[in-house]
Amino acid sequence: MSSNNRPLSPHLDVYRLPLSALLSVVHRGTGGFLTIGTIALVWWLLALAGGEESFNSAQQFMGSFIGRLILLGWTFALFFHLSNGIRHLVWDAGYCFEKEAVEKTSYIVLGVSVFLTLLVWIVAFFFGAGA
Protein backbone atom coordinates (compact mmCIF):
# COMPACT_ATOMS: atom_id res chain seq x y z
CA MET A 1 0.00 0.00 0.00
CA SER A 2 1.52 3.32 -1.01
CA SER A 3 1.66 6.29 1.28
CA ASN A 4 -0.80 8.17 -0.99
CA ASN A 5 -3.66 5.81 -0.09
CA ARG A 6 -3.50 6.37 3.65
CA PRO A 7 -6.37 8.30 5.19
CA LEU A 8 -5.48 11.79 6.30
CA SER A 9 -6.18 13.00 9.77
CA PRO A 10 -8.60 15.95 9.87
CA HIS A 11 -6.89 19.28 10.33
CA LEU A 12 -7.94 22.70 11.58
CA ASP A 13 -9.54 23.59 8.27
CA VAL A 14 -12.03 20.74 8.76
CA TYR A 15 -13.20 21.73 12.23
CA ARG A 16 -15.04 24.88 13.24
CA LEU A 17 -13.32 26.12 16.37
CA PRO A 18 -15.58 27.42 19.13
CA LEU A 19 -15.44 31.16 19.76
CA SER A 20 -13.68 30.63 23.09
CA ALA A 21 -10.87 28.73 21.32
CA LEU A 22 -10.49 31.51 18.75
CA LEU A 23 -10.38 34.07 21.55
CA SER A 24 -7.65 32.05 23.23
CA VAL A 25 -5.54 32.34 20.08
CA VAL A 26 -6.32 36.06 19.79
CA HIS A 27 -5.43 36.53 23.47
CA ARG A 28 -1.95 35.14 22.81
CA GLY A 29 -1.62 37.28 19.70
CA THR A 30 -2.65 40.45 21.48
CA GLY A 31 -0.06 39.70 24.15
CA GLY A 32 2.61 39.68 21.46
CA PHE A 33 1.21 42.80 19.82
CA LEU A 34 1.23 44.59 23.17
CA THR A 35 4.96 43.93 23.35
CA ILE A 36 5.49 45.50 19.93
CA GLY A 37 3.26 48.45 20.87
CA THR A 38 5.18 48.96 24.09
CA ILE A 39 8.41 49.12 22.11
CA ALA A 40 6.80 51.84 19.96
CA LEU A 41 5.75 53.67 23.15
CA VAL A 42 9.32 53.52 24.47
CA TRP A 43 10.57 54.84 21.12
CA TRP A 44 8.12 57.75 21.40
CA LEU A 45 9.24 58.48 24.99
CA LEU A 46 12.91 58.39 23.95
CA ALA A 47 12.08 60.77 21.10
CA LEU A 48 10.38 63.04 23.62
CA ALA A 49 13.52 63.04 25.75
CA GLY A 50 15.73 63.43 22.67
CA GLY A 51 14.63 66.92 21.79
CA GLU A 52 12.30 68.72 19.45
CA GLU A 53 13.60 67.29 16.18
CA SER A 54 13.38 63.64 17.24
CA PHE A 55 10.01 64.22 18.91
CA ASN A 56 8.59 65.86 15.78
CA SER A 57 9.82 62.91 13.73
CA ALA A 58 8.13 60.43 16.06
CA GLN A 59 4.95 62.52 16.12
CA GLN A 60 4.92 62.66 12.34
CA PHE A 61 5.08 58.86 12.16
CA MET A 62 2.48 58.34 14.90
CA GLY A 63 0.15 60.79 13.13
CA SER A 64 0.49 59.02 9.77
CA PHE A 65 -2.01 56.44 8.55
CA ILE A 66 0.31 53.54 9.45
CA GLY A 67 1.09 55.05 12.86
CA ARG A 68 -2.58 55.55 13.67
CA LEU A 69 -3.38 52.03 12.50
CA ILE A 70 -0.70 50.68 14.83
CA LEU A 71 -2.08 52.80 17.69
CA LEU A 72 -5.62 51.60 16.96
CA GLY A 73 -4.46 47.97 16.96
CA TRP A 74 -2.48 48.51 20.14
CA THR A 75 -5.52 50.08 21.82
CA PHE A 76 -7.74 47.16 20.84
CA ALA A 77 -5.07 44.67 21.92
CA LEU A 78 -4.80 46.39 25.28
CA PHE A 79 -8.54 46.29 25.97
CA PHE A 80 -9.00 42.79 24.57
CA HIS A 81 -6.13 41.40 26.62
CA LEU A 82 -7.47 43.18 29.72
CA SER A 83 -11.06 41.97 29.21
CA ASN A 84 -10.08 38.40 28.44
CA GLY A 85 -7.64 38.44 31.36
CA ILE A 86 -10.49 39.41 33.69
CA ARG A 87 -12.52 36.52 32.25
CA HIS A 88 -9.62 34.20 33.02
CA LEU A 89 -9.55 35.50 36.60
CA VAL A 90 -13.24 34.66 36.90
CA TRP A 91 -12.48 31.17 35.57
CA ASP A 92 -9.60 30.84 38.05
CA ALA A 93 -12.12 31.56 40.81
CA GLY A 94 -14.15 28.60 39.54
CA TYR A 95 -17.05 30.45 37.88
CA CYS A 96 -18.60 30.53 34.39
CA PHE A 97 -17.41 27.15 33.11
CA GLU A 98 -20.81 26.15 31.73
CA LYS A 99 -20.95 26.08 27.93
CA GLU A 100 -23.54 28.87 27.76
CA ALA A 101 -21.55 31.08 30.15
CA VAL A 102 -18.34 30.55 28.18
CA GLU A 103 -20.11 31.54 24.96
CA LYS A 104 -21.78 34.55 26.58
CA THR A 105 -18.57 35.83 28.16
CA SER A 106 -16.79 35.41 24.81
CA TYR A 107 -19.20 37.88 23.24
CA ILE A 108 -18.93 40.16 26.28
CA VAL A 109 -15.12 40.23 25.93
CA LEU A 110 -15.40 41.16 22.25
CA GLY A 111 -18.07 43.79 22.89
CA VAL A 112 -16.22 45.42 25.79
CA SER A 113 -12.98 45.47 23.81
CA VAL A 114 -14.56 47.16 20.79
CA PHE A 115 -16.59 49.57 22.96
CA LEU A 116 -13.60 50.70 25.04
CA THR A 117 -11.39 51.05 21.96
CA LEU A 118 -13.97 53.21 20.21
CA LEU A 119 -14.58 55.22 23.38
CA VAL A 120 -10.89 56.04 23.81
CA TRP A 121 -10.51 57.06 20.18
CA ILE A 122 -13.67 59.17 20.19
CA VAL A 123 -12.60 60.94 23.38
CA ALA A 124 -9.07 61.44 22.00
CA PHE A 125 -10.32 63.05 18.78
CA PHE A 126 -13.20 65.10 20.15
CA PHE A 127 -11.69 66.27 23.43
CA GLY A 128 -7.97 66.01 22.70
CA ALA A 129 -5.68 67.19 19.99
CA GLY A 130 -5.98 63.91 18.07
CA ALA A 131 -3.33 61.28 17.57
pLDDT in tens, 77-97: 999 999 999 999 999 999 999
How far is residue 122's CA from residue 117's CA, in Å, rounded to a whole number? 9
| Per-residue confidence band for 49, with pLDDT thresholds at 50, 70 and 90 | very high
How far is residue 9's CA from residue 4's CA, in Å, rounded to a whole number? 13
Query: What is the pTM assigned to this prediction?
Result: 0.83
Class of domain 16-127: mainly alpha
Identity of the amino acid at 74: W
In this model, does residue 116 exceed pLDDT 80? yes
In this model, does residue 111 exceed pLDDT 60? yes
| Per-residue confidence band for 5, with pLDDT thresholds at 50, 70 and 90 | confident
- Domain extents in the chain: 16-127
**Taking the CA of residue 5 as centre, how many other CA atoms within 13 Å lie in the half-sphere pointing to its CB?**
2
pLDDT in tens, 8-27: 666 666 778 899 999 999 99
| Per-residue confidence band for 73, with pLDDT thresholds at 50, 70 and 90 | very high
- Exposure string (b/e) for 79-109, b if CB count within 10 Å is 16 or more? bbbbbbeebeeeeeeeeeeeeeebeebbeeb
